[in-house]
Amino acid sequence: NAGVTQTPKFRILKIGQSMTLQCTQDMNHNYMYWYRQDPGMGLKLIYYSVGAGITDKGEVPNGYNVSRSTTEDFPLRLELAAPSQTSVYFCASSWGSSEQYFGPGTRLTVT
Amino acid sequence: AQTVTQSQPEMSVQEAETVTLSCTYDTSENNYYLFWYKQPPSRQMILVIRQEAYKQQNATENRFSVNFQKAAKSFSLKISDSQLGDTAMYFCAFMGVDMRFGAGTRLTVKP
């Protein structure tokens, strides 16, 4: 099992550009999550999904969009990137409310 | 909304000694889960220990144990026989309707 994979590992965006962060899990987990971690801070939940076709907002959803068309994939879309979106982004998955398995993270810089 | 507070931004401990990291949370929910995650410099999030709120017995995992006080909404982590490899950021997390993380405690184990 590869677990949770995220691409890319690093990305630099210009203000106003758009991009999609990819997340895939091969553990057949029903729940998937997107977090951001700003320097020196804990993780903040952006969006989560309890199954294919179902998504919900977390604590900091503004400026982001998600979709969940399959169990395995949960891409995060950034539209009109802003410097405030500079952060490390983590994807995670779990079976219900059990342990979350995290991907390695994507470091995004918006300049 | 749920909040998670870690009041110790940094702590240090001598190798082989015991250290306790504090965490308090605020919620109106009755059924929830609490977690401690470790984040070493590699940035990978690693689950240390998990506690279900309906269980009165404190969770233990080898050298790691928790003191869960539901009425006081307190969830501290005790690390016994500290090892150099325990040096990391430690995050307390709450899972109820959504997921919230504390700001973290940076633990340094000194030789």
A54-67 pLDDT tens trace: 999 999 999 999 99
Q: What is the pLDDT of residue B97?
A: 79
Using CA atoms, how far apart are residues B76 and B74, in angstroms rounded to an integer?
A: 6
**Cβ within 8 Å, pair A59-B45:** no
Element (H or E) spanning B7, and its range?
Answer: none
**Cβ within 8 Å, pair A43-B101:** yes
Chain A residues whose CB is inside 8 A of the B1 CB are 59
Sign of CA dihedral A104, A76, A12, A35: negative
Residues in chain A with pLDDT < 70? none
Q: What is the pLDDT of residue B96?
A: 86
Find the mean pLDDT for residues B2-14: 95
Q: What is the token pair recorded at B77? A: 């982590």
Q: What is the pLDDT of residues B17-63, one digit of tens each?
A: 999 999 999 999 888 999 999 999 989 999 999 999 999 899 999 99
- Which band of pLDDT confidence, cut at 50, 70 and 90, is reported for residue B110? very high
The C-alpha of B98 sits at a distance from chain A's nearest C-alpha, in angstroms, of: 7
Sign of CA dihedral A105, A108, B3, B9: positive
**Cβ within 8 Å, pair B98-A100:** no
> Among A42, A92, A104, whose Cβ lies nearest the Cβ of B102?
A42
In percent, how much of chain B has pLDDT > 90?
86
Chain A residues whose CB is inside 8 A of the B91 CB are 42-43
- Which band of pLDDT confidence, cut at 50, 70 and 90, is reported for residue B11? very high
The C-alpha of A35 sits at a distance from chain B's nearest C-alpha, in angstroms, of: 10
Find the mean pLDDT for residues B107-111: 98
The answer to whether residues A5 and A103 touch, using CB atoms and an 8 Å cutoff, is yes
